[in-house]
Structure 1
Amino acid sequence: MNCTTTAAAADLALLSSAASVSAGRELNHSSKSSPVVKFAAKRLTVSCAAASSPPHLGRRGLMYMATTSLLIPFPKSAASAAAADENSLLQEEIRKVLTKNKAPGFLRLVFHDAGTFDEGDKTGGMNGSIVYELDRPENAGLQKTVKILEKVKDEMESARPVSWADLIAMAGAEAVLICGGPEIPVRLGRIDATVPDPTGRLPEETLDAKNMKKSFQSKGFSAQELVALSGAHTIGGKGFGSPVVFDNSYYKILAKKSGSSSGGMSSMIGLPSDKALAADDECYGWISKYSEDQNLFFEDFKKVYTKLVDTGAKWSSA
């Protein structure tokens, strides 16, 4: 089939004008910088297949194609797509080794790696140094969890190598999710430390509320954030509700048993530091709120978990 159109200067100007409007900008050219192009007023005959061009497609059709093609949104950048793919791949590998019974150990590993941060000299934090610190008394029992995650790290090596810091941060978020807690997005790109962090930086389980708040303040966390993070004790063997369900049972039990340094709670429930928080007026205010509103706890936990796993991290430039 033959399609004919007149290639006149007016037609070209019309298409150029339409493209400029769609792009949302106006182009001004000076007569000095722009060469003058003259078109001979000749009739141009173009042969085209019927399947590729409707017989009624004329100047208006060409103008429509020129304008609408410029409105097509750009696809995701290559970097964004790669990051999403890496997150999905890492999540998939973690889920292969994660069970609800293992979840408390994964979450504890996050706290013990990130908990070494010091606001004063900006050292420690979420950097994977825990793999060099497993012989410390406060990290007893974490060797097994590291060994489980080592399988994930080895599996990732052939596809997309991952740092220990990223792996631990993501594993903790997945541990919360598998137990019914909120979904927590984790940014990847942390660089691992090559030496252990200084000793004596994790808060002791026997601290009273005043010293607990002081310890967390030295890491850049408020009393409210301390209480929200402590809610992670709702899973595990500390006696707060089901050991494999992430909910606000921790706060409900503390709220009912407040009033003294021990809170009248059984020695089988919680750590001394948990009971100390319930006896502190400032902390108890947040305990009471979270005991009544699980959604509020989930939202605040998501925020403070993200802050915890980003604090002290060194990031790759990629």
Structure 2
Amino acid sequence: MYIRNVLISGLAAASTAQAYSNYTIREEDWTVPAPAPVQEKRTLAKIFGIFDGIFGGGGKEPAQECPAVWTQISSTLTQQFLGDGQCTDAARAAIRSSFHDCFNGACDGSLILANECSNNENRGMERLCGNLANVASQTKVGVADLIQFAAAHAVKTCPGGPTIPVKVGRKDSSEANALGVLPSGHANAKDLVGLFAQKGFSPYDLAALIGAHTAAKQRFTDPSKAGSALDSTVGTWDNKYYSETMRGRAPFTLPSDKSLAQNPLTAGPFIAFAASKGMWDSAFVSAMVKMSMLGVENKGDLIDCTSALPGGSKKRDVRSRNLFDRLKW
């Protein structure tokens, strides 16, 4: 899935394929500038927060603010994930990495920390893994968090991409996860539905996650056609993947994707998502959030860093859609 070709590339979430073309990025391009001093602003919210603390109103502890370093990281990622107004191969790899770090065990950074990127099933992400490792080393952020943040950032960077809420504070692990869990581009729909069900995903979730292939390219399922896109608008985030896959009009279709488009449990969502990008975006975001929390034990301690993603908000995303999509028909 493209989260395998993809957060995972494509997340995929879902990674029924190995979907990336090579991209050339200098190591210095991934250098994160030091955070600029933050000038505290006195807002009404803070004033009322002070009174709340004095008079004991509510009794709730204030939510922790997202560390400023994530905004600096976001600026660096934007430079790598957006080129000529479209999402790049680096962005595709970032989306895919989310799925590959999480699905075979836990979202724990082992994709990089345990060098899982060198495994055959993770081919095509080696350069991204090295670059993200450098960013994590420079900024002292968690590797597991960085992988998920980069995936959400990449989706949002693609023109038309939705905002995926992202949190930080996961525990990193250098213990490798199991091999042979990630599906291939030749898997059949029945096996995929069963595999995803074991991880808590419905066929509807699976169909939504596989839509990340809208921004994916394949390299290894058919080496003779390496670099082929999985829909005709690979640089943007739209729902053409669904209609083109069902009608056999995509530049390239993975056997696994064709099988999902025809399976009774996933064919319905394919049709629905082809008709409404708004419906697909909503389903995809929900499934990706679930994906990003696989195996995470300290969910209650995580800090919301959605605000550090590129511009836009959920409300703005909704307003930008046509009425058909706003109603999620």
Residue 241 (structure 2) aligns with: 250
Give ranges in structure 2 of 5+ residues lacking alignment: 1-46, 53-59, 218-228, 303-329
Residue matched to 1:103: 91
State the match for 2:66 in structure 1. 83
Contact 2:246 2:258 in 1 (8 A): no
Contact 1:94–1:152 (CA<8 Å) still a contact in 2? Answer: no
Alignment of 1:111-126 (within 5 A): 111-116=99-104, 124-126=105-107
Instruction: Report the CA distance between 1:81 and its aligned residue.
Output: 4.7
Matched, 1:162 2:162: no
The answer to whether residue 131 in structure 2 is matched with residue 140 in structure 1 is no
TM-score, with length taken from structure 2: 0.64
**Inter-partner Cα distance in structure 1 for 2:202 and 2:193:** 7
Equivalence for 2:153? 174
Aligned equivalents of 2:174 and 2:79: distance in 1? 28
Give the conservation status (yes or no) of the 8 Å contact 1:97–1:148.
no
1:185 to 165, 171, 181: 165
Could you tell me which residue of structure 1 aligns to residue 181 of structure 2?
201
Structure 1 residue 129 and structure 2 residue 110: aligned? yes
What secondary structure, in the 3-state scheme, does the structure 2 residue paired with 1:277 have? helix
Indicate which of 258, 261, 274 corresponds to 1:278. Answer: 261
Q: Is the 8 A contact 1:235 1:246 kept in 2?
A: yes
Give 1:287's aligned residue.
270
Unaligned runs of at least 5 residues, structure 1: 1-71, 117-123, 258-264
The 1:167/1:79 distance shift into structure 2, 3 A limit, reads farther
The one-letter code of the counterpart of 2:156 is L
Amino acid in the other structure paired with 1:162: V
Q: Distance in 2 between matches of 1:275 and 1:135?
A: 28
What amino acid is aligned across from residue 210 of structure 1 in structure 2?
K
Does 2:281 correspond to 1:298? yes
Deviations 1:172-205 (A, max 9, x none): 0111111121011201111111210011111222
- Amino acid of the residue matched to residue 146 of structure 2? L
- Report 1 or 2 for greater relative contact order, CA contacts < 8 Å, sequence distance ≥ 6: 2
Cα contact 2:243–2:274 (8 A) shared by 1: yes
**Is it true that 1:73 corresponds to 2:58 in the alignment?**
no
Q: RMSD in angstroms over aligned alpha carbons?
A: 2.5
Pairing 1:221–2:201 present:
yes
How far apart are the structure 2 equivalents of 1:87 and 1:315?
Answer: 20
Task: Give 1:125 shift.
Answer: 1.9
C-alpha displacement at 1:86, in angstroms?
A: 5.0
Please list, as runs of the form range in 1=range in 2, the aligned pairs for 1:44-55 lying within 5 A after superposition: none
Contact 1:126–1:310, Cα closer than 8 Å, also in 2: yes
CA–CA distance in structure 1, aligned partners of residues 62 and 127 of structure 2: 35
Q: Which amino acid aligns with 1:240?
A: D
**Deviations 1:223-270, CA, capped at 9 Å, x for gaps:** 00000000000002233122211110111212334xxxxxxx67x512
Letter in 1 for 2:190: K
- Equivalent in the alignment of 2:32: none
- CA displacement at 1:145 relative to structure 2: 0.8
Find the residue that maps to 1:232 and give its secondary structure.
helix
Does the 8 Å contact 2:211/2:242 carry over to 1? Answer: yes
Q: Which residue of 1 aligns with 2:225?
A: none
Rounded Cα–Cα distance in structure 2 between residues aligned with 1:303 and 1:85: 26
TM-score by length of 1: 0.66
Task: Write the mapping of 1:231-250 to structure 2, written as runs, cut at 5 A.
Answer: 231-237=211-217, 238-250=229-241
Percent identity over the alignment is 29
Check whether the contact 1:229–1:301 (CA below 8 A) recurs between aligned residues: yes
> Partner letter of residue 137 of structure 2?
D
**Alpha carbons of structure 1 residues 80 and 133: separation in structure 2 relative to 1, 3 Å:** same
